[in-house]
Copies of this chain bind each other. A is one copy, B any other.
């Protein structure tokens, strides 16, 4: 295979470890100079390709690239921008081909979630429909943990660890003061359609009666009476009640408990405000003093307490993506496969994008216990390995974590025509 350059882009909501995948891609590409020339990173994701705004990662030192492994956020910039079908957006696809041709790009690594898998699949199809040879590999990333095939999604393990630890710490706080102060604490976490992140809060329960006492999943229809009865029972029994609520908590008819009303670029409803809604119910119906927290971006950006397992896997999928591309694979995603046996183990295998794009993996019902308010043993067995190990970033003398400081040298533009997004 002739030597080609690679294009790498970050897509959608960023995570604490997406840059670890970038690190895996770039470091591995550097080890295979025979096949891959330069890795160009899209400035702000796929938009960078459309605008011909390519960051030359060759200009970054080995130390800077290594530092990506402990840098949260999307170091090259990410975007919420979904390419439509080939028919609907022919201009965009033609532009991508023009840019790829101009910069001799033969490898496309797209680091994102379900929507990005779809884009990646479309790019791979350009090989046929537009007669441009390109190897398109999707690098999995999403805190929502909703990609199929892969055992879990890089980014999720670190959110899960953050949520489990935060739930545990806040629960100890409330427990120690509940006699004369707050009785009910609610932590609202991300998870639009699937309760994976809320489920992770359940890991804080290490012994019977440990908080959280109630987890609200999008998968289980919310019933106000059942909920309040459980809260009241818990406060009467333990003196306090800790609730982890998914932002996607909804009634039987599908209505979200709180709906901010706005819509993101992918047409998804933007949520927020389940915790205050629940707090009001508790206050009005039961009269208990409450507190609530909404972690929002803090949870997905929390590189300071990333799961070591997650960091390793995020790096590994980046590495595997390059190895698969060099091996001639196309339209695949490196998926994490969980080993058999009691001790947790994992490996990477290629999974076909055609069966991944636009498929949302829901949490199995048997990961939730019978009454629908906590995780089951199966759920715990699945989740627990994903938060194991601590991978601390280095800190400066000023007490703040150190992050990669990219030079971001742009590749000279070769196409005269500008492209308006």
> Which A residues contact B (CB, under 8 angstroms)?
10, 13-14, 16, 44, 47, 71-81, 161, 164-166, 168-170, 172-177, 179-181, 185, 187, 203-204, 206, 262, 264-265, 270, 272-273, 276, 283, 289, 291-298, 300-305, 307, 384, 387-390, 392, 395, 397-401, 403
Is the Cβ of B166 less than 8 Å from the Cβ of A75?
no
A295 touches B292 (CB 8 A): no
Instruction: Give the residue name and chain of the B residue nearest to A45 (CB).
Output: B180
Bound CA span A387–B401, Å:
11
Across-interface contacts of A384 in B (CB, < 8 A): 398-399
Question: Given A180-B79, A265-B181, A398-B384, A173 and B301 touching (CB < 8 A)?
Answer: yes
- Contact, CB under 8 Å: B302 / A169: yes
* With A177-B13, A292-B294, A392-B390 as contacts: A304 and B301 at CB distance below 8 Å: no
Q: Tell me whether A172 and B203 are in contact (CB under 8 A).
A: no
Tell whether, in the assembled complex, residue A294 and residue B297 are in contact, meaning their CB atoms are under 8 Å apart.
no
Q: How many Å lie between the Cα of A296 and that of B170 in the bound state?
A: 9
Contact partner, A307, options B187, B204, B296, B399, Cβ 8 Å: B399
Asked whether, in the complex, the Cβ of B388 is within 8 Å of the Cβ of A397, the reply is yes
Residue of B nearest to A389 (CB): B399
Contact of A78 among B177, B264, B297, B387 (CB under 8 A): B177
Q: Which residues of B contact A172 (CB under 8 A)?
A: 71-73, 301, 403
Q: Are A165 and B304 within 8 A (Cβ)?
A: yes
Contact (A73, B176) CB under 8 Å given A392-B390, A397-B388, A399-B387: yes
Please determine whether A262 and B291 come into contact, CB atoms closer than 8 angstroms: no
* Set of chain B residues within 8 Å of A273, measured between Cβ atoms: 276
Shortest C-beta distance, A204 to chain B (Å), equals 7
Given A169-B304, A388-B397, A399-B388, check contact A177 B262 (CB 8 Å). no
Contact A180 B305 (CB under 8 A): no
Closest to A172 in B: B73
Asked whether, in the complex, the Cβ of A297 is within 8 Å of the Cβ of B174, the reply is yes
Partner pick for A181 among B80, B272, B388, CB 8 A cutoff: B80
- Flag if B170 contacts A301 (CB, 8 Å): yes
In whole angstroms, how far apart are the Cα atoms of A273 and B293 in the complex?
A: 10
Residue pair B179, A77 in contact (C-beta under 8 Å): yes
A–B complex contacts, Cβ < 8 Å, 25 sampled:
A13-B177, A14-B177, A44-B180, A73-B176, A74-B177, A77-B176, A77-B179, A80-B177, A172-B301, A172-B403, A181-B264, A185-B297, A203-B398, A203-B399, A204-B400, A206-B398, A272-B291, A276-B276, A291-B297, A304-B305, A387-B398, A389-B399, A390-B392, A390-B399, A392-B392
* A164-B400, A262-B289 known; A79-B294 Cβ under 8 A: no
Q: Are B203 and A400 closer than 8 Å at their CB atoms?
A: yes
